[in-house]
């Protein structure tokens, strides 16, 4: 806020304008007056003030019209409305449209000045908060947060990551859900020559095809119902930075063709448009699917696959990097404590034993969620096994087959034993077990029910 804040006063009565001009000039304001709404709009074309004080009821262009025009120029521009008792409903409508305050006529001059000063202070706070937020975002973009791990499988991945990150090569990150694909993507961006640019990410499986294409490539006005204006799209917004496409295996053939154009020609055509738009991003894609198998089955374009698979990173399962579990657990608990303003909780011996023994089918994400639950439920300083989810602490269910099978087992016995082994391997997760077995979950449930009924 300047030493002499600029104020635009709007009213259609010359006597009121003059009295308000004198009042605010004596209070240290730089005052511009506009007699009527049309004059106010013309004044806004010449310069944007720090504050507007306007009457509500005016011919042709009223105070709500002035408010709307002001907000279009600057969403944070404070507007104070002056209103008569009969116009109270209109004034309230103005508040709903973003006016800072309204004051009823006749008003006390000291009260009016106080309201205007509060409006300016509110604007100042909004500006400071926005600048602070931008600074925090800038620091987050440039701060390098190294993923955690000391196990050999993880170190092998990190060596590859740190080798390819400074290049502009396309990277394809493969791994099961929860293995930390976006964490690795952000680390690649932070080590790249594009680190000062933006990092955008989108989950390709979370949006319908039409919306996904519009978000990625943009659209032109009128290209579909609801397209009331041109939309640049995220590829344009991410110019100079990195773009992370998660679950790229979920994209449709039509979207895959457009992504291929981005990689080959470094340009994209907005939905409903004809003119290509240049694309300047480093593309990082990720999937938990077997894209080679999808390619063979015709579900994923081979030309796109080979364009994406310039640098391939395969993230290990958490159960294959158990040496990292204590480090990850400690990091998660410290971060949670910092966010809550608390002292980090320790993990008791019984809880750590259960954590290390469990296979974590949901990988790092499941570990983080389990520890958040445990930290929330624990009132003391140490997390006990009882605070962990039951699936983590429960021992595998008794085998569905005898410990000493027959010398010549039947096919049914062999099938039963194999299903039991897969279930135990997948931590009791029937959906994942069905995927491994290659059968429908309903088929697995029927088989398990039959085993329960068997003598």
162 and 302, same domain (yes or no): yes
323 and 312, same domain (yes or no): no
**Total number of residues shown for the chain:** 455
Determine the pLDDT at residue 284. Answer: 96
The answer as to whether 399 is a domain residue is no
- What are the C-alpha distances in Å from 130 to residues 6, 123, 134, 136? 21, 11, 6, 10
The answer as to whether 142 is a domain residue is no
- What are the C-alpha distances in Å from 188 to residues 155, 283, 286, 305, 338? 15, 11, 13, 20, 25
301 and 330, same domain (yes or no): no
Per-residue b or e along 250-283, where b marks 16 or more CB atoms closer than 10 Å to that residue's CB: bbeeebbebbbbbbeeeebbbbebeeebebebbb
311 and 162, same domain (yes or no): yes
Q: What are the residues facing 106 on neighbouring strands?
A: none
- Phi then psi for residue 89, to 5 deg, are -60, -40
Identify the CATH number of the domain in which residue 437 sits.
1.10.10.60
The answer as to whether 170 is a domain residue is yes
- Phi then psi for residue 38, to 5 deg, are -60, -40
Neighbours of 314 (CB within 10 A): 13
Q: Are strands 79-83 and 101-104 parallel, antiparallel or unpaired?
A: parallel
Determine the pLDDT at residue 137. Answer: 58
What is residue 395's three-state secondary structure? coil
Asked whether the beta carbons of 419 and 444 are under 8 A apart, the reply is yes
Identify the CATH number of the domain in which residue 384 sits.
1.10.8.60
Determine the pLDDT at residue 93. Answer: 84
Identify the CATH number of the domain in which residue 69 sits.
3.40.50.2300
pTM over 0.85: no
Specify the number of domains making up the chain.
Answer: 4
Owning domain of residue 24: 6-130
311 and 329, same domain (yes or no): no
168 and 244, same domain (yes or no): yes
Q: Are strands 282-287 and 311-314 parallel, antiparallel or unpaired?
A: unpaired
Give the pLDDT of the chain (455 residues) as one tens digit per residue.
557 899 999 999 999 999 999 999 999 999 999 999 999 999 998 888 999 999 999 988 999 999 999 998 888 899 999 988 767 788 888 888 889 999 988 889 999 999 999 999 888 888 777 776 665 555 555 456 789 999 999 999 999 999 999 999 999 999 999 999 999 999 999 999 999 888 999 999 888 877 888 888 888 887 776 666 778 888 888 899 999 999 999 999 999 999 999 999 999 888 888 888 899 999 999 999 999 999 999 999 999 999 999 999 999 999 999 999 999 999 999 999 988 888 999 999 999 999 999 999 999 999 999 999 999 999 989 999 999 999 998 865 544 455 555 556 677 777 888 888 888 777 777 878 888 888 877 788 778 877 765 54
Last residue of a domain, one of 316, 338, 357: 316
Six token digits for residue 417: 């034993």
CA distance 25 to 41: 22
311 and 359, same domain (yes or no): no
Q: Do you find a cis peptide bond into 445, omega within 30 degrees of 0?
A: no
Determine the pLDDT at residue 398. Answer: 47
CA distance 123 to 105: 25
The answer as to whether 447 is a domain residue is yes
Q: pLDDT tens, 305-349?
A: 999 999 999 999 999 999 999 999 999 999 999 888 889 999 999
Phi-psi region of 275 (alpha: psi -120 to 50; beta: other; left: phi over 0): beta
122 and 193, same domain (yes or no): no
389 and 420, same domain (yes or no): no
389 and 417, same domain (yes or no): no
Q: What are the residues facing 282 on neighbouring strands?
A: 242
Identify the CATH number of the domain in which residue 181 sits.
3.40.50.300
174 and 290, same domain (yes or no): yes
The answer as to whether 62 is a domain residue is yes
Last residue of a domain, one of 316, 332, 351: 316
The answer as to whether 63 is a domain residue is yes
CA distance 392 to 172: 32
Q: pLDDT tens, 289-300?
A: 999 999 999 999
The answer as to whether 137 is a domain residue is no
Last residue of a domain, one of 69, 97, 130: 130
The answer as to whether 402 is a domain residue is no
193 and 298, same domain (yes or no): yes
């Amino acid at each position: 806020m300047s030493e002499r804040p600029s104020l635009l006063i709007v009213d259609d009565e010359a006597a009121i304008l003059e009295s308000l001009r004198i009042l605010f000039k004596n209070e240290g304001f730089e005052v511009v007056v506009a007699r009527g709404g049309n004059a106010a709009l013309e004044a806004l074309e010449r310069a944007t003030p720090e504050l507007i004080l306007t009457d509500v009821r005016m011919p042709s262009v009223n105070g709500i019209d002035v408010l709307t025009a002001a907000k279009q120029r600057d969403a944070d521009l404070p507007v104070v409305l002056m209103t008569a008792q009969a116009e109270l409903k209109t004034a309230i409508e103005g508040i709903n449209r973003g006016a800072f305050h309204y004051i009823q006529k006749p008003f006390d001059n000291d009260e009016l000045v106080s309201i205007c000063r509060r409006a300016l202070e509110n604007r100042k706070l909004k500006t400071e908060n926005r600048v602070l937020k931008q600074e925090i975002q800038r620091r987050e973009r440039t701060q390098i947060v190294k993923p955690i791990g000391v196990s050999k499988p993880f170190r092998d991945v990190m060596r590859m990551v740190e080798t390819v990150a400074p290049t502009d090569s396309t990277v394809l990150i493969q791994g099961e859900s929860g293995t930390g694909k976006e964490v690795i993507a952000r680390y690649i961006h932070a080590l790249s020559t594009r680190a000062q640019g933006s990092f955008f990410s989108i989950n390709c499986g979370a949006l319908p095809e039409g919306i996904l294409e519009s978000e990625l490539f943009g659209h032109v006005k009128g290209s579909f119902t609801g397209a009331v204006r041109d939309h640049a799209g995220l590829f344009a917004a991410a110019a100079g930075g990195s773009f992370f496409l998660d679950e790229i295996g979920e994209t449709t053939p039509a979207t895959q063709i457009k992504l291929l154009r981005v990689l080959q020609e470094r340009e994209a055509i907005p939905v409903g448009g004809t003119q290509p738009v240049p694309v300047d991003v480093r593309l990082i894609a990720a999937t938990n699917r077997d894209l080679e198998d999808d390619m063979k089955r015709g579900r994923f374009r081979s030309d796109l696959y080979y364009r994406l698979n310039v640098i391939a990173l395969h993230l290990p399962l958490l159960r294959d990097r158990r040496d990292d579990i204590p480090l990850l657990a400690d990091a998660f608990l410290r971060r949670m404590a910092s966010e809550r303003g608390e002292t980090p909780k320790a993990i008791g011996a019984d809880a750590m034993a259960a954590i290390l023994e469990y296979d974590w089918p949901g990988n790092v994400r499941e570990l983080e969620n389990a520890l958040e639950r445990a930290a929330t439920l624990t009132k003391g300083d140490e997390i006990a096994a009882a605070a962990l989810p039951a699936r983590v602490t429960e021992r595998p269910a008794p085998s569905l087959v005898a410990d000493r099978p027959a010398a010549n087992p039947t096919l049914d016995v062999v099938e039963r034993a194999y299903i039991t082994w897969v279930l135990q391997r997948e931590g009791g997760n029937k959906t994942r077990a069905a995927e491994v077995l290659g059968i429908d979950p309903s088929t697995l449930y029927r088989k398990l029910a039959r085993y329960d009924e068997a003598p």
